[in-house]
């Protein structure tokens, strides 16, 4: 049996585009002699369609699309994913389903049993879990078809009370197929390979696994679809962050053969390399899928905006990036110089707009209120917000999307100005700690100096008052980032983190900063997710909660 | 058996305050001769504690609190709600539990079986549903204790596949007790009474139902705890939006007697009356629970800011409200006059800060870019954002929280400026349609004119260009709001709404406006929820989705 794996980029709710792409791919696979072509989980609707799923019309459009796809599948079989109506009276109204379509007919439907409902996932919000498990017979092979999380119930501390493959294996299948929509995090490829090879060796079956690629606002799908033999050995690994269509022959002895050049990796790419790739796809798809092509951002001469500018230029083309230098009276000469050097290195567009007239005017109209009160955070924020107002005016006049340049360390401790530097359509590095931003800068410079060396080596400063340094308000970033990782990602308590050897007052201060900044993070742009725990939809905190604040 | 119902206001993660309040109430109930005092669902932690539940330390603090409460319960029994560790290896790590504590000992634990995971609810994110059901024997009575949603599985289109009372009734209980954390929506009291009286009559048992009160950022809990006899007749209804502690004798013939003046309503309050009460509590608790006392807002002379100002003055005291008048060159004289009249009627503080110098300065620094391009949305937004920057500077300098004044109709169609009038710590009327804002204004004026008549009767205008009217860009609000209600709340498709008789182009235009404003709503403040479907945590939409946009 010849199986094609279609690792594609879908667009949520864009039925015309998704259906067209699926039907085109079926045509190609047929031309190449495939018996079966496998698409990803919820490929028909795009994933996550979120509360669009609550619209009956949306579900019926999925059904229409499935019928079109079936009609286009004469002489070939395919597996697609879509939301379907739960026909049982009890339980949620929908299932997260896979259709097995053969020669123009929908021959079988498989519903997902294990519904992820943690971190960024809300599947139990919409779907009823399946409790019935049946294999599919096709061309002399019995297929155990499952959907993503169905293979992810671990042996130690299982999250679910059932394990679909334990039921399916009783029907003596010849092969496992798993369709997925499994989002990227820099450590996720290794976890995915470990879990899936473990399934293949546990059930002694070859496994074909198809993931999506493409970004849906904050969630980035990285592909990396897998073919694993019945001993648990990786036979093939599809490319990451790009579409692919590959073919395999499942032989009668259960071995797998293929004649393309495998992209199976001999060495895992570094975290930073993966983050770099992920962010490029995240930027590109955010613009493409919203129908925009041009970005703007404020370029300070500091490392955060420099890295975002370089990523944007690579993702969108330097000609589509407008860097705006917005010096205030506290900006240093070297900052302007560093920003100009970056613009020259990238070849992007730039404008310089001094903000002093604006901040003076604002402080002027506030003078009767502020009187002679000392300069404080109010005046600092006026600078940051003046920059935002100018950048947003550029967006409104010329059709740019503003890129937010806050990093994860700042976002965590609230070191940023709401409606100021926390503005933007999308946050590019809001899931990248400051120490990782430095690594990313070095990675971007791996072949030639793009980000000026001085931007990388100088001490970080917001330059909102004379001689300001980030370390005036925050611990050194190498300490801060480690504490943040324990608290945000590993959900350790202050006492646990202190026991690891961090200074007690620093730990308590950092955690308090994180918890009292919830109201700020609530209003920030969506953040491209590259870690296992990003701020945004995957981390949901009370705002007026009192715990550790 | 004498049963006390404790309808209290909790603070998420504030263990000291919650535990103290529970123990004080146990003391009072004991003094009043109660055998059993019943608290609300998750009263120990506050609800919703959201991802705080993922911290082991948080759960262990809940456990500590329960032990303290048990120690304080000598000679009396109580029921409290808290998250507990799921001791089974499979499934989620936690349960949503009730403890039955008697004479200093935790005698029984009941876990919630039906976990709401729709709209604003995420309970399946944290909790494993119970599959075991046991009654509790106490003082010769057998109690069927359930938690909130456990009684909410409807007969037609059941959302869950089990019904806990169907199991418990087999053990022949004498009484049902249900502890809840059931948030307010203006239509929810009637639904709650219908569901709970239906349970009492179906199982032929008296029912004691205890809800929380108090606002937790966007969610407002309205109380309205209920006592229902074994025929399904309402015996008592606790007050709404305020704490209460009431006592009942459950007699041996299953009848219920009590000697306080009942607040059982003979007539349901109007939607607007309930919304008014809910918003006052929402404002008050947002400030109190965040440790702030003073609010500011921009007062335009229009109805939205007038209503918010009046609500804030009532909730926080007029002396704690600073209204800022921010006229531009497009502001009309009557707007300033209307705003001043309101300030005088309320007795709140006010300042007038003309924004012209600021908008001139911004347009000045942008002149080289904007050149002679015609005035458009860019200049409109500059005005709105200039006001925001001034208001936020006032907040930063003087410690106010900025109240957002956008209404639900504007929020729906994106008729507002991100980082401009969409700013604020909390959105007061973001779940109130414009047509309801007018009703609310009339209600606020029910005894005397607080909101100037001219503010109510003049055509709504953003006054961002000469002679602008909302209806230049939007359908009349009475049509718009009806279409929005069908689309947002009832999840009707455009074709269904058109079939109801609305004009096709208007419907399509409105739905497109709603869907293309997701990126704006993503960055707006939390919205006090008063309807069954508010923007915010209860409505989760893709940003780059393509459906109906």
Q: Is residue A493 part of a domain?
A: no
Residues A342 and A450: their CA atoms lie apart, in Å, by 6
Supply the DSSP string of B13-81, one letter for each residue: T-HHHHHHHHHHHHHHHHHTT-SEEE--TTTTT-S--GGGGG-HHHHHHHHHHHHHHHHT-TTSEEEEE
Q: pLDDT per residue over B88-105, tens digit each?
A: 999 999 999 999 999 999
Domain boundary among B227, B259, B291: B259
* pLDDT, mean of residues B64-89: 97
Tell me which residue in A93, A158, A548 faces B89 most closely, judged by beta carbons: A158
**Dihedral pair phi/psi, residue A201, rounded to 5°:** -75, -30
Q: Check whether A265 has a pLDDT greater than 90.
A: no
Can you give the pLDDT at residue B467? Answer: 87
A85/A151 same-domain check: yes
Q: Which helix (H) or strand (E) holds A505?
A: helix A504-516
The closest alpha carbon to A402, from B399, B215, B134, B523, belongs to: B523
Q: Is residue B493 part of a domain?
A: no
A139/A88 same-domain check: yes
Are A290 and B357 a contacting pair at CB < 8 A?
no
Are B419 and A161 a contacting pair at CB < 8 A?
no
Residues B76 and A409: their CA atoms lie apart, in Å, by 50
Is A381 annotated as a binding-site member?
yes
Domain boundary among A410, A440, A470: A470
Q: Is residue A516 part of a domain?
A: no
Question: Average model confidence (pLDDT) for chain B?
Answer: 96
Q: Indicate the number of domains in chain A.
A: 2
A residues 198..227 contacting B (CB < 8 A): 216-217
Scanning the structure block, which residue is given the tokens 């959105």?
B427
Can you give the pLDDT at residue A426? Answer: 98
B205/B307 same-domain check: no
Are B357 and A378 a contacting pair at CB < 8 A?
no
Q: Check whether B42 has a pLDDT greater than 90.
A: yes
A245/A310 same-domain check: no
B382/B405 same-domain check: yes
The closest alpha carbon to A99, from A28, A153, A157, A26, belongs to: A26
Can you give the pLDDT at residue B198? Answer: 96
Which residues fall within 8 angstroms of residue A382, CB to CB, at 6 or more apart?
A359, A362, A363, B389, B393
**Dihedral pair phi/psi, residue A224, rounded to 5°:** 65, 35
Strands (E), B348-445: 349-352, 401-404, 426-427
Rounded (5°) CA angle A98-A103-A104:
70
User: Taking the alpha carbons of A169, A173, A174, A176 in that order, is the dihedral positive or negative?
Assistant: negative
Can you give the pLDDT at residue B154? Answer: 78
- For the beta carbon of residue B123, count every other beta carbon within 10 angstroms: 25
Residues A515 and A505: their CA atoms lie apart, in Å, by 15
Residues B369 and A394: their CA atoms lie apart, in Å, by 8
SS3 A52: helix
Q: Check whether A100 has a pLDDT greater than 90.
A: yes
Scanning the structure block, which residue is given the tokens 């329960």?
B66
B147, B408, B445, B485 from B507: Cα distances, Å: 41, 17, 34, 12
Residues of B in contact with A353 (CB under 8 A): 365-366, 368-369
Can you give the pLDDT at residue B158? Answer: 92
* pLDDT, mean of residues A373-390: 97
Are A357 and B377 a contacting pair at CB < 8 A?
no
A252/A289 same-domain check: no
Q: Check whether B544 has a pLDDT greater than 90.
A: no
Q: Domain range for residue A461? A: 273-470
Task: Specify the DSSP class assigned to residue A203.
Answer: H
Q: Is residue B284 part of a domain?
A: yes
B291/B249 same-domain check: no
Q: Give the ipTM of the model, two decimals please.
A: 0.96
Can you give the pLDDT at residue A512? Answer: 95
B112 catalytic residue (yes or no): yes
* pLDDT, mean of residues B450-462: 94
Can you give the pLDDT at residue A157? Answer: 78
> How far does Cα B247 stand from its chain's mean position?
27
* pLDDT, mean of residues A274-289: 98
Instruction: Count CA atoms within 13 Å of residue B392 on its CB side.
Output: 29
Question: Taking a C-beta distance cutoff of 8 angstroms, is the pair A386, A358 a contact?
Answer: yes
B59/B134 same-domain check: yes
Q: What is the CATH number of the domain that holds B403?
A: 3.40.50.620
b/e map A510-545, b = 16+ CB within 10 Å: bbebbbbbbbbbbbbbbbbbbbebbbbbbbbbbbbb
Residue B141 corresponds to which tokens in the numbers above?
């009575």
Residues of B in contact with A392 (CB under 8 A): 381, 385, 418-419
Task: Specify the DSSP class assigned to residue A123.
Answer: G
Residue A134 corresponds to which tokens in the numbers above?
């049946």
Residues A289 and A46: their CA atoms lie apart, in Å, by 12
SS3 B463: coil
Q: Check whether A306 has a pLDDT greater than 80.
A: yes
A232/A374 same-domain check: no
Q: What is the CATH number of the domain that holds B119?
A: 3.60.110.10
Q: Is residue B535 part of a domain?
A: no
Between residues B322 and A153, the one the model is more confident about: B322
* pLDDT, mean of residues B67-82: 98
A21 catalytic residue (yes or no): no
Q: Is residue A411 part of a domain?
A: yes
B88/B182 same-domain check: yes
Q: For residue A366, say if its preceding peptide bond is cis, omega within 30 degrees of 0.
A: no
Are A369 and B351 a contacting pair at CB < 8 A?
yes
B227/B344 same-domain check: no
Q: Check whether A84 has a pLDDT greater than 90.
A: yes
* pLDDT, mean of residues B321-339: 93
Q: Is residue A320 part of a domain?
A: yes
Q: In what order do the strands lie in the sheet with B105-111?
A: B105-111, B94-102, B77-85, B36-38, B2-7, B244-250, B256-257
Task: Specify the DSSP class assigned to residue B98.
Answer: E
B residues 31..60 contacting A (CB < 8 A): 46, 48-52, 54-58
Residue A318: pLDDT band by 50, 70, 90 thresholds? very high
Q: pLDDT per residue over B149-165, tens digit each?
A: 999 987 777 999 999 99
Can you give the pLDDT at residue B136? Answer: 98
A344/A310 same-domain check: yes
Question: Taking a C-beta distance cutoff of 8 angstroms, is the pair A25, A8 a contact?
Answer: yes
SS3 B134: coil
Q: Check whether A544 has a pLDDT greater than 90.
A: no
Q: Of the residues A30, A43, A62, A112, which is catalytic?
A: A112
Q: Check whether B355 has a pLDDT greater than 80.
A: yes
Domain boundary among B259, B288, B309: B259
Residues A410 and A407: their CA atoms lie apart, in Å, by 6
Residue B387 corresponds to which tokens in the numbers above?
């006001």
User: Taking the alpha carbons of A219, A225, A229, A234 in that order, is the dihedral positive or negative?
Assistant: negative
Can you give the pLDDT at residue B251? Answer: 97
Q: Which chain A residue lies closest to B426 (C-alpha atoms)? A: A519
Q: pLDDT per residue over A453-489, tens digit each?
A: 999 999 998 888 888 888 888 999 999 999 999 999 9
SS3 B542: coil
A41 catalytic residue (yes or no): yes
Residues A197 and A131: their CA atoms lie apart, in Å, by 25
Rg (CA), chain B: 26
Question: Average model confidence (pLDDT) for chain A?
Answer: 96
Residue B366: pLDDT band by 50, 70, 90 thresholds? very high
Q: Is residue A549 part of a domain?
A: no
User: B263 CA to chain A: closest CA distance, Å?
Assistant: 30
């Amino acid at each position: 049996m010849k199986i094609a794996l279609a690792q594609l980029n879908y667009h949520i709710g864009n039925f015309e585009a998704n259906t067209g792409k699926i039907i085109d791919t079926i045509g190609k696979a047929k031309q190449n002699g495939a018996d079966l072509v496998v698409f990803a989980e919820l490929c028909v609707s795009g994933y996550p369609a979120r509360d669009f799923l609550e619209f009956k019309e949306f579900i019926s459009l999925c059904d229409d699309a499935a019928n079109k796809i079936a009609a286009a599948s004469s002489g070939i079989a395919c597996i697609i994913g879509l939301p379907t109506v739960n026909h049982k009276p009890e339980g949620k109204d929908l299932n997260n389903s896979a259709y097995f379509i053969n020669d123009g007919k929908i021959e079988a439907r498989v519903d997902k049993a294990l519904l992820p409902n943690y971190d960024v996932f809300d599947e139990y919000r919409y779907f009823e879990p399946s409790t019935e498990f049946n294999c599919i017979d096709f061309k002399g092979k019995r297929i155990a078809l499952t959907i993503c999380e169905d293979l992810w119930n671990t042996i130690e501390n299982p999250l679910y009370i059932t394990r679909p493959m334990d039921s399916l294996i009783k029907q003596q299948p010849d092969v496992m197929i798993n369709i997925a929509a499994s989002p990227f995090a820099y450590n996720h490829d290794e976890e995915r390979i470990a879990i899936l090879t473990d399934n293949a060796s546990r059930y002694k079956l070859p496994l074909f696994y198809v993931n999506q690629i493409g970004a849906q606002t904050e969630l980035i799908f990285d592909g990396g679809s897998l073919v694993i033999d019945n001993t648990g050995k990786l036979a093939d690994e599809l490319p990451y962050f790009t579409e692919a269509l590959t073919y395999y022959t499942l032989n009668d002895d259960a071995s797998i053969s293929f004649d393309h050049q495998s992209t199976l990796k001999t060495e895992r790419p570094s975290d930073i390399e993966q983050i770099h790739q992920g962010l490029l796809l995240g930027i590109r798809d955010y613009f493409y899928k919203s129908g925009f092509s041009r970005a703007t951002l404020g370029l300070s001469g500091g490392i955060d905006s420099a890295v975002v500018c370089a990523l944007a230029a690579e993702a969108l083309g330097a000609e589509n990036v407008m860097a705006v230098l917005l010096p205030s009276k506290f900006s240093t000469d070297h900052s302007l110089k560093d920003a100009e050097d970056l613009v020259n290195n990238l070849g992007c567009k730039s404008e310089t707009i001094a903000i002093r007239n604006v901040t003076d005017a604002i402080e002027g109209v506030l003078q009767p209120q502020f009187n002679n009160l000392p300069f404080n955070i109010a005046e600092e924020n006026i600078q940051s917000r003046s920059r935002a107002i100018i950048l947003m005016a550029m967006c409104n006049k010329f059709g740019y999307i503003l890129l937010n340049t806050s990093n994860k360390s700042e976002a965590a401790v609230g070191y940023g100005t709401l409606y100021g530097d926390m503005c933007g359509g999308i946050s590019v590095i809001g899931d990248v700690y400051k120490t990782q931003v430095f690594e990313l800068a070095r990675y971007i410079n791996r072949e030639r100096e793009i980000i000026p060396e001085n931007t990388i080596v100088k001490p970080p400063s917001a330059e909102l008052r004379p001689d300001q340094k980030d370390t005036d308000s925050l611990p050194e970033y190498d300490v801060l980032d480690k504490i943040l990782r324990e608290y945000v990602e590993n959900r350790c308590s202050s006492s646990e983190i202190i026991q690891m050897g961090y200074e007690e007052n620093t730990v308590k201060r950092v955690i308090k900063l994180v918890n009292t900044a919830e109201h700020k993070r609530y209003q920030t742009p969506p953040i491209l997710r590259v870690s296992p725990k990003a701020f945004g939809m995957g981390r949901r905190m009370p705002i007026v909660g009192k715990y550790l604040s």
